[in-house]
C-alpha cells in the first residue's frame, strides 16, 4: 500500500524535485496538490491547504514546499487533521516555530520530518562515518555562488526571513552539523549587507568548539561569485585526517584523494527515508542548521556594502 | 546540611543580589568565589574557574554570574567536575550553546537551572494562573528605560552578544513566555540601531500566535526613555479579561484594579527554587526568552538611527 501524499506549494523545488521523485517512488501515491496557480495533470488540486483538509480526500501525509512563513500554521492544521508532515528546508522562519511544531507533532502522535537535501549524499555519509569519535582541529566552509544565476528576480530572499546568503549557506551548515561528531557554536559573524537590502550578501563566520581544546573553525559565504562556483568543506582532525567535501557534498577527498563520487540523488533518498519513517512510526527533526543560522544573526555585526541592483 | 556553593564572577549582579541573598539562605553555604579582581571577605577565592575546579575544595554547585560568552565552557567543566550549575540570565550568548549544555547536564546527571529573575514575582505567578486555558487576543509589551542610567559606561552591551535593548527586553520576554498559555512567534522586528553601534537601542516587534485565530501581539522596547521608566505588559483575552503587569512584574491589575502588589524578592525566590531543585534532583531549563530574542535578530530589519555618544 502506497502512502497517499499531497504536495502543498508547487514552486520551483516541487516542480524540479518533489513531483518527479514522488512519481518514481512506489511507496507514495500523489493524491492531491495545493497551488494558488494551477494544478498538476489530473491530480485533484486545491487553492489552499484549508480547502484540501476540508475536502475529505483520503491522505496519509503532506509535503510542505511553499516558502517558510506560513509553514507552522499549515503544519499545525495538517497534524490536527491526522496527517504526517514533511517540511522542505528551511522548515520554518524561526527556531521558535520549529520547536512548537515538533512538540505539536509529538502531542498528536504524528510523524514530522525536516528535510535538509544536502545531507543526502553518499560522500556526506562517509565523511560523517570517518569523523565519528575524532577530534576536529580545523573546519573551513567556503560556499560561494552567483545569486544572479541561482535566484533571478527573487526579491523575497533579500527580505527578513529570506535568509540572504544563508539561504545557500544553510545547506553547508546542514552538512557541517551532520558530519561533525560534536556541535560547534557561533563565536562571531560579519554580515556584509547591501545598503538597499535587509539580508546579507556575504558572511564571514568564526565558530567555537563545544569540546575542550583549540580548533580553527570558520565559514566564508559569498553570493557574489561569478565564474566557477565553490561549495567546499574542509576538515582536519587531531590525528591527521584531511577530509575535503567538494561540489556541494557529492565528492569526498581523503588526504587529497578522491574517495567517494556519487551522482546526487538527494530527493530520491529523502523520500526513501520518509517512507521508512512512516513505516517505523518515528519522526526525524533536525533543528541544528536553522539554529546555527539564527545564532549567526544573533551575534552578527552588520557591515554595509554596495547596493545590489 | 547546606549546599556548598561557589559564585563565579563577582560583578554587579553578584554583589547586589547573589552574595547577600546566599548569605541569608540557610540552605546554602558560600564555599568559594571566583573573581579576576579580588575576593569576598574570608571566603576562599580563585582567579579562574579552572583553579577552583582543581583546588579540591568540596562543592555541590556553582552559580555563573560572569557575562555570557565563557559560560558554556565553564558550565561544561563544572558539570564534568560533578557540580550542579545555576546560570544568570541570559544563560549563554546563543541558543546553540544552551541546547548543548542542557544535553551535557542530562548526560552527566547533574542539575542545570537557568534563572530569569523577572519571572520570580507573585504578580507574575498570579497572571500565569489567570491566563491558564485562556485565549489571548491582545498582548502589548512596553519596556522603556534610560540606558545611560542603568548601564553607565558599559560598552559591551553595544557589541554583538551584548543584546542592546534586548538586555532589558529579555526580562519582559521571560515574563511573557511564562504567563502566556501558548507560545508566540516573532513575525517581524524593526531594530533601530545607532550608526556607531552593533546592537539596537530600540525595537518594535510584532508577534504571531501559535494558536488558530486573530491576535494583536506587539512589543515596544526603547532604551532612550528619560523621566518615568516603563516596564509594562498588557494582556486581553477572548472572554474579556484585562490584565496589566506594571513596574517590571511586581504589580498586577485586573480590569484596572490593583490585585497583587508584592515587594520584589526575585533572587530570594530563585535560591529557594534552586534548593528545591537540588533536593528533588531535577533541572529547570527555560530557553524560551533567549529563543525569542534570537528570533528577533533572525527576522530583524535594521534601521539606522543617530549615533549613541
| 3-class SS string, A43-63 | CCEECCHHHHHHCCCCCCEEE
Contact A23, A46 (CB under 8 A): no
Same fold flag, B3-114 and B118-262+294-305: no
Contact: B298, A93; criterion CB under 8 Å = yes
Burial of A240 (0-12, 13-18, 19+ CB in 10 A): exposed
What pairing do the DSSP bridges indicate for beta strands A202-209 and A184-194?
antiparallel
Contact: B294, A297; criterion CB under 8 Å = yes
Percent of chain B with pLDDT over 70: 100
pLDDT of residue B61: 98
Residues in B closer than 8 angstroms to A295, CB to CB, are 94-96, 294
SS3 of residue B140 by DSSP:
strand
Residues in B closer than 8 angstroms to A288, CB to CB, are 96
Confidence of residue A258 (pLDDT cuts 50, 70, 90): very high
Cα A93 to Cα A111: distance, rounded to the nearest angstrom: 20
pLDDT > 90? residue A1:
no
Active site positions of A, annotated: 89
Cα A234 to Cα A141: distance, rounded to the nearest angstrom: 6
Confidence of residue B8 (pLDDT cuts 50, 70, 90): very high
pLDDT of residue B1: 84
Closest CA to B305 of B194, B229, B197: B194
pLDDT > 90? residue B266:
yes
What are the grid coordinates assigned to B44, written together? 576562599
Q: How far is B72 from chain A (nearest CA, A)?
A: 8
- Per residue in A52-63, pLDDT (tens digit) is 999 999 999 999
pLDDT of residue B152: 87
**How big is the CA angle at A203 (ends A284 and A96), to the nearest 5 degrees?**
35
**Average pLDDT for chain B:** 96
Contact B232, B246 (CB under 8 A): yes
pLDDT of residue B153: 84
- Per residue in B293-303, pLDDT (tens digit) is 999 999 999 99
pLDDT > 90? residue A190:
yes
Percent of chain B with pLDDT over 90: 95
Q: Which one of B12, B47, B58, B89 is the catalytic residue?
A: B89
The torsion angles phi and psi of B302, rounded to 5 degrees, stand at -75, 130
Q: Which among A69, A96, A204 is the top mutation candidate for probing chain B, defined by the most B β-carbons within 10 Å of its own β-carbon? A: A96
Q: Longest C-alpha distance within chain A, in Å? A: 59
pLDDT > 90? residue B171:
yes
Contact: A96, B183; criterion CB under 8 Å = yes
Residues in B closer than 8 angstroms to A79, CB to CB, are none
Cα A35 to Cα A49: distance, rounded to the nearest angstrom: 9
Considering only CB atoms, B294 lies closest to which of A72, A160, A295, namely A295
Q: What is the ipTM of this complex?
A: 0.94
Confidence of residue A152 (pLDDT cuts 50, 70, 90): confident
Considering only CB atoms, A94 lies closest to which of B76, B100, B298, namely B298
Q: What is the average pLDDT across A170-193?
A: 98
Q: How far is A208 from chain B (nearest CA, A)?
A: 10
Considering only CB atoms, A295 lies closest to which of B77, B95, B188, namely B95
Cα B263 to Cα B275: distance, rounded to the nearest angstrom: 22
SS3 of residue A127 by DSSP:
helix
What are the grid coordinates assigned to A214, written together? 583549540
Contact B294, B94 (CB under 8 A): yes
pLDDT > 90? residue A264:
no
Cα B212 to Cα B210: distance, rounded to the nearest angstrom: 7
Percent of chain A with pLDDT over 90: 95
Q: How far is A199 from chain B (nearest CA, A)?
A: 8
Domain spans of chain A? 3-114, 119-262+294-305
Cα B103 to Cα B134: distance, rounded to the nearest angstrom: 33
**What's the order of all strands across the beta sheet hosting A28-34?**
A45-46, A28-34, A3-8, A61-64, A84-87, A112-114
Distance between terminal CA atoms of chain B?
A: 51
SS3 of residue A25 by DSSP:
coil
**What topology is assigned to A119-262+294-305 in CATH?**
Dihydrodipicolinate Reductase; domain 2 (3.30.360)
pLDDT > 90? residue A305:
yes
- Per residue in A40-94, pLDDT (tens digit) is 999 999 999 999 999 999 999 999 999 999 999 999 999 999 999 999 999 999 9
**What topology is assigned to A3-114 in CATH?**
Rossmann fold (3.40.50)
Cα B212 to Cα B239: distance, rounded to the nearest angstrom: 16
Q: How far is A66 from chain B (nearest CA, A)?
A: 17
Percent of chain A with pLDDT over 70: 100
Residues in A closer than 8 angstroms to B73, CB to CB, are 212
Contact: A73, B212; criterion CB under 8 Å = yes
The torsion angles phi and psi of B162, rounded to 5 degrees, stand at -85, -10
SS3 of residue B223 by DSSP:
coil
- Per residue in B109-129, pLDDT (tens digit) is 999 999 999 999 999 999 999
Contact A92, A64 (CB under 8 A): no
Domain B118-262+294-305 has CATH 3.30.360.10: yes
Q: Which among A73, A95, A166, A211 is the top mutation candidate for probing chain B, defined by the most B β-carbons within 10 Å of its own β-carbon? A: A95
Cα A275 to Cα A278: distance, rounded to the nearest angstrom: 5
Residues in B closer than 8 angstroms to A299, CB to CB, are 93-94, 160-161
**How big is the CA angle at A74 (ends A72 and A76), to the nearest 5 degrees?**
65
Cα A9 to Cα B275: distance, rounded to the nearest angstrom: 52
For the CA atoms of chain A, what is the radius of gyration?
20
Of A119-123, A139-143, A261-265, B246-250, which range is least confident?
Answer: A261-265
Cα A113 to Cα A296: distance, rounded to the nearest angstrom: 24
pLDDT > 90? residue A153:
no
Q: What is the average pLDDT across A126-138?
A: 97
- Per residue in B20-53, pLDDT (tens digit) is 999 999 999 999 999 998 899 999 999 999 999 9
Residue by residue, DSSP assigns B49-88 as HHHHHHS----SEEEE-S-STTHHHHHHHHHHTT-EEEEP
Contact: A302, B298; criterion CB under 8 Å = no
Closest CA to A141 of A60, A68, A43, A244: A244
Confidence of residue B263 (pLDDT cuts 50, 70, 90): confident
- Per residue in B129-164, pLDDT (tens digit) is 999 999 999 999 999 999 999 988 888 899 999 999
**How big is the CA angle at A233 (ends A227 and A238), to the nearest 5 degrees?**
150
Q: Which helix (H) or strand (E) holds B22?
A: helix B19-24
A299: closest chain B residue by CA:
B160
Q: What is the DSSP letter of B11?
A: S
SS3 of residue A244 by DSSP:
strand
Q: Which among B69, B95, B183 is the top mutation candidate for probing chain A, defined by the most A β-carbons within 10 Å of its own β-carbon? A: B95
Contact: B160, A94; criterion CB under 8 Å = no
Q: What is the average pLDDT across A261-289?
A: 96
Amino acid at each position: 500500500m502506497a502512502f497517499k501524499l499531497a504536495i502543498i506549494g508547487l514552486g520551483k523545488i516541487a516542480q524540479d524535485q518533489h513531483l518527479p521523485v514522488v512519481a518514481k517512488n512506489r511507496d507514495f501515491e500523489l493524491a492531491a496538490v495545493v497551488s494558488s496557480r494551477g494544478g498538476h495533470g489530473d491530480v485533484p488540486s486545491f487553492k489552499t491547504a484549508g480547502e484540501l483538509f476540508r475536502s475529505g480526500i483520503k491522505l496519509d501525509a503532506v509535503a510542505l514546499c511553499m516558502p517558510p512563513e506560513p509553514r507552522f500554521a499549515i503544519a499545525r492544521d495538517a497534524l490536527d487533521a491526522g496527517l504526517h508532515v514533511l517540511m522542505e528546508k528551511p522548515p520554518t522562519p524561526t527556531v521558535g516555530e520549529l520547536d512548537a511544531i515538533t512538540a505539536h507533532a509529538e502531542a498528536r502522535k504524528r510523524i514530522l520530518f525536516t528535510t535538509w537535501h544536502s545531507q543526502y549524499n553518499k560522500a556526506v555519509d562517509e565523511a560523517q562515518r570517518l569523523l565519528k569519535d575524532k577530534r576536529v582541529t580545523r573546519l573551513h566552509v567556503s560556499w560561494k555562488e552567483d545569486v544572479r544565476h541561482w535566484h533571478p528576480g527573487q526579491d523575497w530572499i533579500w527580505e527578513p526571513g529570506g535568509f540572504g546568503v544563508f539561504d545557500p549557506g544553510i545547506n553547508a551548515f546542514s552538512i557541517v552539523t551532520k558530519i561533525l561528531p560534536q556541535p560547534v557554536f557561533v563565536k562571531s559573524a560579519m554580515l556584509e549587507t547591501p545598503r538597499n537590502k535587509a539580508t546579507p550578501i556575504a558572511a564571514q563566520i568564526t565558530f567555537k568548539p563545544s569540546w575542550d581544546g583549540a580548533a580553527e573553525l570558520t565559514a566564508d559565504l559569498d553570493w557574489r561569485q561569478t565564474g566557477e562556483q565553490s561549495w567546499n568543506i574542509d576538515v582536519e582532525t587531531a590525528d591527521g585526517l584531511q577530509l575535503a567535501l567538494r561540489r556541494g557534498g557529492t565528492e569526498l577527498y581523503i588526504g587529497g584523494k578522491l574517495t567517494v563520487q556519487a551522482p546526487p540523488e538527494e530527493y530520491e533518498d529523502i523520500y526513501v527515508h520518509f517512507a521508512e519513517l512512516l513505516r517505523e512510526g518515528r519522526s526525524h527533526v533536525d533543528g541544528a542548521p536553522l539554529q546555527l543560522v539564527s545564532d549567526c544573526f544573533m551575534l552578527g555585526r552588520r557591515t554595509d556594502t554596495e547596493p545590489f541592483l
